[in-house]
Chains A and B, each alone.
Chain A
Amino acid sequence: GESVGLHLPTLSVQEGDNSIINCAYSNSASDYFIWYKQESGKGPQFIIDIRSNMDKRQGQRVTVLLNKTVKHLSLQIAATQPGDSAVYFCAENSHSNDYKLSFGAGTTVTVRA
């Protein structure tokens, strides 16, 4: 069955350093991926997305990399700031089930001052 999972449940990073959050997926039919950030007491906030016809996409301070060969994607945050402390989720869907997003369990990122 399909599953989306994150490699590590927690990540501690020094303020100003770069963060890398990893995610593995098992559904070969997945063709769209999103990274969400969820702060305490809030709903998931859209960060960046990528389609399966791309390997890399950049946003403001964030980059998503997609490796379809090994079914892996990562979110890189440059110059991590205290406001980046949150739980990060990768989510995916496929053309055949494009109405729903399947989420992983999340990685908690803590930024050290």
Chain B
Amino acid sequence: ETGVTQSPTHLIKTRGQQVTLRCSSQSGHNTVSWYQQALGQGPQFIFQYYREEENGRGNFPPRFSGLQFPNYSSELNVNALELDDSALYLCASSFQVTKNIQYFGAGTRLSVL
């Protein structure tokens, strides 16, 4: 196990609603990245947080936003949910100096109806 924990494990929302997903990083890791994994696809990078600021972003609209807290834990917020947002959302933690060596949590399965 990586020590990266995510909550909740499963979530069902309806179109137009808002959702918050949470992640606790592995002990000592100060950088958190979020990925979206559609069924049968590889993970797609959403954004990365370091020192409570966004450190890089993928091709996702502004309704995808995040936060990082002083204890390095993180939240992913998605507003105005769309059916295509249904996916597994993965959080990965790392050290900033080796930010490309990322360790993943088990993910949150989001279903938008």
Contact = CB atoms under 8 A, between A and B. Distances in A.
Interface of A: 4, 32, 34, 36, 41-46, 49, 89, 91, 93, 97-106
Given A98-B100, A102-B45, A44 B56 contact: no
A44 to B, nearest CB: 5
A21 to B, nearest CB: 13
B48 A105 contact: no
Contacts of A97: 56
A100 B56 contact: yes
Given A101-B45, A103-B43, A46 B101 contact: yes
B76 interface: no
Interface in B29-78: 33, 35, 40-45, 48, 55-56, 58
Interface of B: 2, 4, 33, 35, 40-45, 48, 55-56, 58, 90, 92, 99-107
Nearest to B107: A43
B45 A45 contact: no
Nearest to A36: B104
Nearest to B109: A41
B44 A103 contact: yes
Contacts of A102: 45
A97 B102 CA distance: 14
Contacts of B92: 43
Contacts of A46: 101-103
Which of A42, A98, A99, A104 is packed against the most chain B CB atoms within 10 Å?
A: A99
Contacts of A42: 106-107
